[in-house]
Amino acid sequence: MSVQLGLAMPQPGETITEGVVMQWLKKEGDMIKEKDPVVELETAKAVYDFESPLEGKLIKILVQPNETQQVGKSLAIIECDDEKAKKYLMFGVAVPLDNAPAAAAAPSTATAVTPAATTAATGTGAGALQYSPLIRTLAQEHGIPVGDLAKIPATGAGGKLTKEDILNYAGNKGGAAAPTPAVTVNTGVSGKRTEATAIRKRIADNLHLSKTTIPHAGSAVDVDMTTLMNFRNAKKDEFQKKNGVPLSFGPFFMTAVMEAIKQYPQANSFYIVEGAKHFIEAHDMINIGFAVGAQKGLMVPVLKNAQSKSFVELAKGVNELVTKAKDGKLSPDDLTGGTITVNNPGALGSTRGNQIIVYPQAIIVGFQKMVERPAVVNGKVEVRTIMECDCSFDHRILDGVEAVGFLEAIRNVLENPEKYFNTI
């Protein structure tokens, strides 16, 4: 006996409420096995191939390319074996054909966020674990204690609170009113408007949240990269032949950042506000996000547990994530859970710059272009390869003296490659 079910739109992260179908990888009438790539989806975090959690026959496609569907609602109708259908409904990866959201809809195994990533992304405060950074920040701005969030009627998928829920609750209490509806702006200049993609909107929301929540401060030091350049040039051919990946500067930068964290562990932390209480939440795990230019815009994949990896493992991990980013194959899990971020605008030719912190992290480090400059070495003027290393930091967590010390620690590593990279 067979049963027709709805293939549920997955929820790859707790802040995701909807997704856009980019293209179907299967057609009506096709037989589908579990973990078969069935549809390419765009969410606010990534564009990725969604692997079907169901096995059966694709009867009807309900959401066409470029159409949006809410988390937990049906993307397509799949005809499944009766016994398997019961399992699919129980685990929330399928929905009845009335298109109602599945109770306690869980992310599918193809896109589930790991517990470590979720903890790092949302904090571990006892009262705040179930709420996203956006919800916690909105609650703080409107004077709503974390303990009161459970009283607010939630309208999001799977019983999640949404931005509108917080604003409506605040308005009913006589707090800050919800924002007025957006109006059409007449700029007086003709032009073509294109609606922002889900990823572009999410980037905009995150940047706005960071700049309006975190008191940014910045610092910079010059790093003499001459010795490291010569060191890398002498090693790169043998390294690639032996390990199958190029010897890029990324692993050098990440190693230097991790060495600096040993001296300044507060750089690998979050500032958490729960009602009237403020916490600095330090992390033992170092999950390094790094910026990559991709087809869909700037992406920040995260190399998890970097502190436990060898230099070669760092190089392979970076290469794998960069390849996935450029191929448009990053999963939501690849983009969540960062505890600190590095950026390499120097690869694009930038010699100076300001970074925007990835909320709710404490610091972002930028590595600028390496350029030849005159420098005094042992009383003599020489031509050296100099790079600016800069940072933006959360002034609630780090003071200026600590931020400068952090950058000085990075400089010390990069200027002494024989000491710190002698295992390559």
Q: What DSSP string describes 238-271?
A: HHHHHHSS---SHHHHHHHHHHHHHH-GGGGEEE
Annotate 398-416 with DSSP letters as a single string: --HHHHHHHHHHHHHHHT-
Q: Compute the distance between CA of residue 351 and CA of residue 371 in angstroms, rounded to an integer.
A: 8
Q: Name 215's Cβ contacts closer than 8 Å, sequence gap at least 6.
A: 394, 395, 396
Cα–chain center distance at 266: 20
At which residue do the structure tokens 């959401």 appear? 63
151, 146, 154, 114: which is closest to 128 by C-alpha? Answer: 146
Pair 171, 177: CB distance under 8 Å: yes
Q: What one-character-per-residue DSSP string does 140-162 give?
A: HHTT--GGGGGGSPP-SGGG---
Residue 89 neighbours by CB under 8 Å, 6+ apart: 5, 95, 96, 102
- Catalytic positions: 395, 399
Q: Which of 375, 381, 405 is nearest to 393 (CA)?
A: 405
Going by their DSSP bridges, the two strands 292-294 and 297-299 should be labelled as antiparallel
